[in-house]
Amino acid sequence: MPSKTIDHAFTSRSLTSAATDPTFAGALSFMRRRFTKSLKGVDAVVWGIPFDAATSNRPGARFGPQAIRRASAIFDNDPQYPFSRDLFADMAVIDYGDCLLDYGNHQKTPATIEKEAARILSSGAFLLTLGGDHFVTWPLLKAHVARHGPLALVQFDAHQDTWFDDNRRIDHGSFVARAVRDGLIDPARSIQIGIRTHAPEDFGIRILHGHDVEEMTAGEIAGLILDHAGGKPAYLTFDIDCLDPAFAPGTGTPVAGGPSSAKILSVLRQLGELDIRGADVVEVAPAYDHADITAIAGATVAMYMLGLHAERRAAH
């Protein structure tokens, strides 16, 4: 016990040091990473955007970053399954805290997110964002594309998010359409997995509907994603409502008929060859959750994203 510490998010002496906090106590940063705004020597950044004013159904995703951080405490400091490694032994990861937004002036929200994301990306760090509703992916894409050029979008979701807007709306259901129109993503290399609703446009994006996902193996889904992205730089966005409500009830627009968390995690595990330049997990709304089911799923997806990045760094 004397060698153990608590509140690792504040007391850690190294960005790659392991935490020893009890699962039930201590400061709740994402996976106990140090809370800091300093980007010096940082390989990857976890950042929260507590915004849900763009939601079309049940609000509450502004509490998503808090819930995901809390659920991430279940990951102790043994090698993380299924990566068989301490993700932080050779990868300096910080929790950058949350984006400060003016809740009374939503028209400023996109520029605020984009500016802060651009600052993080200018350090060369990989950015993993915790939402928030899915609108936040729009300004995140703008910041990533400014650094990396147009990206393939790999989107796990029950919704296409390709509804029309006038380029001024704050709407979580239209960011993909806007991204295509503005040349941020390459629709011919983009793919949506788990779609269980209809929208007026698909913009040539490859769609794997819910019934496709049900009938395919995880390996087949992962192979199709890798083939379709074609080795191009990609942005990975994961709307938690991609999962069936049985596995993710805590979300704003749940849709029955989705895949299990086990199946989709198996898909993610097989995306090691995907050139992921940025990623997010969005639409966790804990007010509708039960026993942290959704928050645990969201935290696990986020951990897999860091795991994939750690493996890619080690391989290159």
pLDDT given for residue 315 in this prediction: 87
Alpha helices in the chain (DSSP H): 8-11, 64-71, 109-122, 137-148, 175-181, 210-215, 218-229, 261-269, 293-315
pLDDT in tens, 280-305: 999 999 999 999 999 999 999 999 99
What is d(CA 161, CA 178) in angstroms, rounded to the nearest whole number?
9
Q: Domain 8-315 carries which CATH code?
A: 3.40.800.10
pLDDT in tens, 263-282: 999 999 999 999 999 999 99
- Within 10 Å of residue 209's Cβ, how many Cβ atoms? 17
What is d(CA 255, CA 177) in angstroms, rounded to the nearest whole number?
21
pLDDT given for residue 254 in this prediction: 97
The mean pLDDT value for 75-88 works out to 88
DSSP, res 60: -
pLDDT in tens, 8-41: 999 998 898 889 898 999 999 999 999 999 999 9
The mean pLDDT value for 116-136 works out to 97
pLDDT given for residue 2 in this prediction: 55
Q: Does the pLDDT of residue 77 top 80, yes or no?
A: no
Quick check: pTM over 0.85? Answer: yes
Q: Residue with structure tokens 């760094």?
A: 313
Of the candidates 61, 28, 26, 31, which has an alpha carbon nearest to the alpha carbon of residue 44? 31
Q: Does the pLDDT of residue 168 top 90, yes or no?
A: no
Helix or strand run (H / E) with residue 234: strand 234-239
pLDDT given for residue 1 in this prediction: 52
The bridge status of strand 234-239 relative to strand 276-282 is parallel
Show Cβ contacts of residue 277 under 8 Å, excluding neighbours closer than 6 positions. Answer: 126, 144, 147, 148, 151, 233, 234, 235
Per domain, the residue ranges of the chain are 8-315
Q: Does the pLDDT of residue 164 top 90, yes or no?
A: no
Question: Across all residues in the chain, what is the average pLDDT?
Answer: 95
pLDDT in tens, 188-217: 999 999 999 999 899 999 999 999 999 999
pLDDT given for residue 155 in this prediction: 98
pLDDT given for residue 18 in this prediction: 84
Q: Band the pLDDT of 244: cuts 50, 70, 90.
A: very high
Q: Does the pLDDT of residue 51 top 60, yes or no?
A: yes
